[in-house]
Structure 1
């Protein structure tokens, strides 16, 4: 895929400020790559830039992730496309910015499919290139044809319809009903004696709610919201009836998805595979297995980080056992920045101590500031990637699609992955040319455009409810904001000092919004 960014920038008269990125064909990295390396994409939930030891985190031990970083390259300027889950996942799997499509906000548990079967996905690309593909863990991209009309007691259109050969997924997140796993379109361990009903409109008669029966919240109580259906002694968002033996226990979620991931790897050890492994950790409700619970000074959130590290270690150990490590590319990252109190009384705020989940960054989940979208990103591929490297090159998750296409020599259909650029050389640490810009989306749809040197946050006129509930600075302002990114804390708005830079970044953003990235 030939990159057209130079033409965009020169057309705006600013080619001298933002450097173009050479195409990978010019760099000849593809000649070094075996055509069918296995690919594992490990996607954490709400894991902040500063949450891992290898990123300076002090609150939780992450030895397995540290080892992954020591065996590969760790990025210090990598970005998710959005500060919330659903839009980040949509953008990453489709190569299209979520703000281009309606209905990509944080999805309810009974949302219809947000990525439609006719849309070409990253999974389609791998499958069409001879890979066996799997999605395991958190989904949060909708199931079924239409929102609110799913029959949870029958087969559903699911991840199988957008390129995955196998799926074992949560419909949304653990804080939303339905609290069951969906395996290949059907409720796993389905209990015919307890048919499932789900609603986000009204409760079911006779079913107790968290707001009325706090005595039933024996595992975790809510701090705000999350006071509807009670499953496993924890209140949820939405209403649910039935499920029986199919209902998950939160303390077993990590074990369950890891077991299914390991089985998938074993079953495909002799074939190229693509595994999208999306954990619920460290998203609320945080209620890890007893092996981890109560062991960390930061409480449940710290326990969840340690549990996530254990999951990563299990995958790495299995690859070693099967002799697959050398020919497997692992990318570990997060969907957005961190949040402490996100609706449950788990003392994450009170016990955080000196640990800084977003590191030195301002803001967090939901925010337009860097803490919302700058995330940990580690790439390990022993055949290609130099060990123990640290890179501050500006990169974005939107580019994984086109970069993977180059990795496996895939030909993409015209119009697919329209916002994704081939940046494989950056992910391999072979080229340090920054992406000319990355786009960031806050939860209120405020967009930012970020270059290596500057960040412009467009004006916002939306309320700041999130800030009052989560204690996170949103970065929303009725005034344009410009920050010198040599000062990563984004404290001094320099828009009035550099109106010419504000104008140029506004023009780039408008052009991308109107005409697309390419």
Structure 2
């Protein structure tokens, strides 16, 4: 009788509260995780962050169905260091050689350290990387032979599958790689790459500007070997059959990302989907060309948003939506003129890529590192949440370790802290403090932002960027002055002293678990 009563009550509960039971089942499982990492997208580039001249409905959908973060940061104001921090949980300025890399650089991620993808592997996930890499390939100080399998790369730091290009789309070699090999390489047309001197007889942008379909901006260095009518940084010969067509890059990456999701729909998976669209040279596919009214940069924002929408559709079609945590963010703030004369500056009238923030890519001001950050996980993250918790991409490693119940050693992810409650948009304040890397180092603590003195240039004329460098200390009360217009260091000398001491302590400790 007692057994019958137990089953009767259980059955009644299931009928009355099916959502609770489903949620309990889902919570007990490991969520799929998709991290969409856009390139050079600013805090003001999306309509869900206030943009009015351009509409990003698919990203707006993520914000509506999940959470929108207003105080989220990349670790750095440029791409390679931000990606290094994301993968390793270590401040990139602690390690030499983590600046913006050439296309033939060696892998800068240690292969004997825990990384974000290897954490997921340890938790039983299938891991995939699709898109821009820009963290180096091959062994340290060894010249890469592009015509043979490159033995050290994404696979060796935790990715079961990788489809990517080596660096950036404005750098040679302009080829895709799948795991260890160049895709479509003709062995009778071997690739050679050189960043110091011209090789081969192919025309360069400097010698033949009349051949360029996208002119290079003066003095940016985008005038070396011409590929697909675009001058690149660096010189390349051979590999003609393997070279990409810029207008197709986004579609190729989307196809590979969708295939990875499809192939792993029955397993928990982690997909690092690194979008290239907004990075120069901006070459939208035909369906988006001329559609934004803001020139090529606006067109590729539309393309990026559409790509996100296609990923959302794929999850819906495979019935994976409710069991997938999807995160969207950017590797640094925005830049308009970054090497090609595509009229991005002129055509951006009325659009503020960094929103109300000062600075942008390359800058220690907020516009350099404060980036869009959206997260959706149905039934876990409350739809329509807005949070001002201080979070950083460097904390994803420790946070997912907590979520997946993976132990970290003291040596693992030394500057990464468990902020999983903040990433799931719970009502918490996030980090106590955060060091950010732009033109110089800055420390955020509460509403205060301190930028330490630097002898570097204060303004980059090539990109029109305020770097944040100043020989005097800078202190801003972001609660009252988010645009960092008023330096109040002189009126708060004790606060400056305390924040410089804390920054020195973090720097000198060699790890921030102090």
Shared fold, TM over 0.5: yes
**Maintained 8 Å contact 1:148/1:199:** no
Given that residues 222 and 233 in structure 2 are in contact (C-alpha distance below 8 angstroms), is that contact kept between their aligned partners in structure 1? yes
In structure 1, C-alpha distance between the alignment counterparts of 2:165 and 2:359, rounded to whole Å: 28
1:2-43 deviation per Cα after TM superposition (whole angstroms, max 9, x unaligned): xxxxxxxxxxxxxxxxxxxxxxxxxxxx99943411000000
Partner residue in 2 for 1:264: 260
Counterpart for residue 313 of structure 2: 317
- Give the structure 2 partner of residue 233 of structure 1: 229
Secondary structure of the corresponding residue to residue 138 of structure 2? coil
Moved more, 111-120 or 330-339: 111-120
8 Å CA contact 2:457, 2:467 repeated in 1: no
Residue of structure 2 in register with 1:137 after alignment: 131
Match of 2:189 among 178, 194, 207: 194
* Partner in structure 1 of residue 71 of structure 2: 77
**Superposed CA offset, 1:335-366 (max 9, x none):** 00000000100000000011100000000000
Q: Which residue of 1 aligns with 2:159?
A: 164
2:173 to 169, 178, 183: 178
- C-alpha deviation, 1:80, in angstroms: 0.8
Q: Which residue of 1 aligns with 2:391?
A: 395
Deviation at 1:220, TM superposition (A): 4.7
* Aligned: 1:356 with 2:352: yes
Select between 174-183 and 144-153 the one with higher mean Cα deviation.
144-153
Could you state the TM-score of these two structures normalised by the residue count of structure 2? 0.93
The alignment partner of 2:28 has SS state of coil
Q: Secondary structure at the match of 1:469?
A: coil
CA offset digits 1:427-475 (Å, max 9, x no partner): 1122322311111101x4x1000122110000111235x6111111111
Residue correspondences, number: 487
Aligned counterparts, 1:1-150, within 5 A = 33-147=27-141, 149-150=143-144
CA distance in 1, matches of 2:99, 2:174: 20
Match of residue 366 from structure 1 = 362
Segment of structure 1 superposing worse, 227-236 or 508-517: 508-517
Paired position in structure 2 for 1:343: 339
CA RMSD for the aligned pairs? 1.6
| Residue of structure 2 equivalent to 1:27 | none
Q: Distance in 2 between matches of 1:428 and 1:68?
A: 13
Residue 350 of structure 1: SS of its match in structure 2?
Answer: helix
Please give the alpha-carbon distance, in whole angstroms, between the structure 2 residues aligned to 1:47 and 1:431.
Answer: 26
Q: Would you say 1:206 and 2:201 are equivalent positions?
A: yes
SS at match of 2:465: coil
**Residue matched to 2:406:** 410
Query: Could you say which residue in structure 2 is the equivalent of 1:308?
Result: 304
CA contact (8 A) 2:214 2:340 kept: no
Aligned pair in 2 of structure 1 residues 32, 502: CA closer, same or farther (>3 Å)?
farther
The structure having more radius of gyration, on CA atoms, is 2
Contact 1:35 1:408 in 2 (8 A): no
Decide whether aligned partners of structure 1 residues 327 and 220 sit closer, same or farther in structure 2, where only a CA change above 3 A counts.
farther
TM-score of the pair, normalised by structure 1 = 0.92
**Structure 1 match to 2:146:** 152
1:293 matched to which residue of 2?
A: 289
**Alpha-carbon distance in 2 for matches of 1:509, 1:391:** 26
Asked if the contact 2:76/2:437 (under 8 Å) is kept, the reply is yes
**Separation in structure 2 between the aligned mates of residue 35 and residue 408 of structure 1, nearest angstrom:** 10
Residue among 464, 473, 481 paired with 1:480: 473
1:268-300 per-residue CA deviation (whole Å, 9 max, x = no partner) reads: 000000000001121100011011111111100
CA contact (8 A) 2:277 2:300 kept: yes
Q: Report the secondary structure of 1:195's partner residue.
A: coil
**Range with bigger deviation, 480-489 or 216-225:** 216-225
Worse overlay, 337-346 or 223-232 = 223-232
Q: Over residues 352-395 of structure 1, what are the superposed CA-to-partner deviations in whole Å (9 max), with x where a residue is unaligned?
A: 01110000000000001100000000010003000011111111
The question of whether the paired residues in 2 share the 8 Å contact of 1:50 and 1:56 is answered with: yes
Residue 222 and residue 245 in structure 1: after superposition, are their counterparts in 2 closer, same or farther (change >3 A)?
farther
Shift of 1:148: 6.4
Is there any run of 5+ residues in structure 2 with no aligned partner, and where? 1-23
Give, in whole Å, the separation in 2 of the partners of 1:171 and 1:412.
29
The equivalences for 1:365-384 within 5 A come to 365-384=361-380
